[in-house]
Amino acid sequence: MKYIYIILFLLYNATTAFCSSGGDTIRLSLRDVVELAKGKSIASKQAITTRETKYWQWRTYKSNYQPQLSLNGILPGYSKTSQQVIQPDGTILFQQVHNDNSQVTLNFSQSITATGATIYGESQLQRFDDFDRHNILYNGVPYAVGLSQPIGQYNSLKWDKKIQPLLYNESKQGYIEAQEQISITATGYFFDLLLAQVNLQIAQTNYTNTENILKIAKTKFELGKITKNEILQLQLELLNSKKAMGIAKRDMEISTLTLRSYISQEGDDRVALVVPETISEMSVSSDKVLAEAYANRSDAIAFVRRIAEAKRDVAVARGQTGLTASLTANLGFSNTATNVAAVYRSPQNQQLLQLTFAIPVLDWGRSKSKIKTAEANEQFTEYAVEQDKQTFKQQIVTQVTLFNQMKEQVGLTAQADSIASEKYKIAKERYVLGNLSITDLSIAFQENDQAKRDYVAALRDFWGAYYQLRYLSLYDFEKNEKINYK
């Protein structure tokens, strides 16, 4: 009878196969999914747009230190109206005005970063047409140069030169971090779908095996070898397997839709994921990760930038209080004539020297309060940055420890999966031979299923830790080089 049971069991297994509906199947590895997400996802396009925005902001900042040349004008300046004119005796008469007052001005300016001054020059030509009196008059400034120098005020050019390069470098590293964050997110969606597919395979396999075992059990029951309770138990297992198949199909459809949406993949082809392996030869040390993190991360640049901004705010507070003054000097030539050529012949000197200032005489401590507030904020920022540095370091050390643990954990769960699979196989054979209870067979089912899920979960933890490590350091430990995206 034992040989009959074995033959029946083998025949049922040989005639059972996993069948799927028609259509093409796309096989994707974890790296395929990550690369698709980096290249096609909306998150990737948003990161690129942010990078371009920061680049043009940087170009705008750079232009502030370059010579500026502009042409301004009023062409035409036609007017026909009546205007009030105050007479010598204080009365007002309304006079008809019919004229055209046009002008063009060519301006040049150059900022001086060290002092915050501006050197400027201009050339101007103005034409006035009086249509009532048929007069034409020209007024012009062949050339003039000047200097505007703030005294005791906040120098934005000087502080921008310290802070803006940090912001730009921070944005460049932030783009790389955004790409690595995409990898982390894509990895999560990948393993969501992989686990759903594994659960479906487990449910289908369990359903097929339970169905086969139930047929054998019915034969054994007819021969009086087992009780009705075992038949009922197997029928319950069959129903549970069928229910698990439905749940797994639902989860797989949802996970497939989520993954497709994230990597912007269109079409209705089935997606079959390849179970990834671990990177056994890669070793990571905390010192190496920390060194790369401080060299590459935007947070490390932000530490310096935040301190610089706090110092800048103190400079702003001091520049807005106390004595503030501005010196303006201008030297050039001007002339008036009835034709354009005469404007540029023998022009007259024009000179300007002006010093404006403001000194608070009584402000009830307002100036001092602004400065002290800025200094207190600077001190607070220094403490906050120091705390963030400690958190930054601890996060990296913890992640390195987790990664090394996850690498070992994957090996252990792989062994457990292999053992559980072998145990499950033996349990099926022993049940067919009649020397194993249905309870022990059910336990072997559950242990085998759980071992497979545990292995996928361990792989998820490992690869999640791996991409998190890349994100924290912006370093590729497989290629031993810094991560960079064009």
Residues (pLDDT < 50) of the chain are 1-22
| pLDDT tens-place string over residues 196-255 | 999 898 888 888 888 887 887 788 777 777 778 878 887 888 898 889 889 989 999 999
Calpha distance 13→11 (Å, rounded): 5
Q: Is the dihedral of CA 40, 41, 42, 48 positive or negative?
A: negative
The domain segmentation of the chain, as residue ranges, is 2-61+159-314+370-482, 69-112+117-153+323-359
Q: What is the structure's pLDDT at 5?
A: 36
Nearest CA among 60, 73, 81 for reference residue 123: 73
Digit-coded pLDDT (tens) for 285-294: 899 999 999 9
3-state secondary structure 330-399: EEEEEEEECCHHHHCCCCEEEEEEEEEEECCCCCCCHHHHHHHHHHHHHHHHHHHHHHHHHHHHHHHHHH
Say what the pLDDT of residue 353 is.
94
State both tokens at 150: 């703030």
Q: Is the pTM of this model over 0.85?
A: no
H/E run at residue 454: helix 438-473
Given this model, what pLDDT does residue 18 score? Answer: 32
Please, are residues 298 and 106 in contact by the beta-carbon 8 Å criterion?
no
d(CA 486, CA 477): 19
How many percent of the chain have pLDDT more than 70?
93
Instruction: For tokens 């022993």, name the residue.
Output: 430
Closest CA to 282 of 475, 432, 91: 475
pLDDT of amino acid 411 = 84
Helices and strands, counts by H and E, the chain: 10, 11
Check: CB of residue 182 under 8 Å from CB of residue 44. yes
Cα distance between residue 466 and residue 210, in whole Å: 39
Measured CA distances, 2 to 74, 216, 219, 225, 444 (Å): 109, 11, 12, 11, 21
- The dotted CATH code for 2-61+159-314+370-482 is 1.20.1600.10
pLDDT, tens only, 21-43: 345 788 999 999 999 999 999 99
